[in-house]
Homo-oligomer: A and B are copies of this chain.
Amino acid sequence: MNNASKPVYLKLRDIISESILDGEYAEGDMLPSVRAFAVEQGANPLTVAKAYQGFQEDGLVTVKRGVGMFVASGAKAKLRDAQRADFIKNVWPPVERQMKRLNIKLDELLENNS
């Protein structure tokens, strides 16, 4: 299940998430407008809006109508915790199972880092 085969609105969601986690968009910052981000990513404004929608439902962004969408206070920690929980619960177990089944040791994986 690669990133390339994901729906666009989910990929956009990931891009935003990573940007917030990496501090590119700090708390209080305004996110790119729907139309601007659509142009930047070569996507449809509606698709971007759909991607943004989930964030406001989770309280990660604050919407100022007519102005823009802003990274909510505490969003970074909240996002981090949610992603950590998801990783431990949903991502890691199948990975570990596959490593056991294929007899892949951690040694083989921890060398080629950037």
Contacts and interface: CB of A to CB of B under 8 A. Distances in A.
A102 to B, nearest CB: 5
State which size class the interface on A falls in. 20 to 34
A98 B91 CA distance: 10
> What copy number does this chain have within its complex?
2
A67 interface: no
B18 A101 contact: yes
Nearest to A22: B101
Interface string A2-38: 1100100000000000100110000000000000000
A19 to B, nearest CB: 11
A80 to B, nearest CB: 6
10 contacts: A1-B90, A18-B101, A21-B101, A21-B102, A80-B102, A84-B102, A84-B104, A87-B102, A87-B104, A91-B95
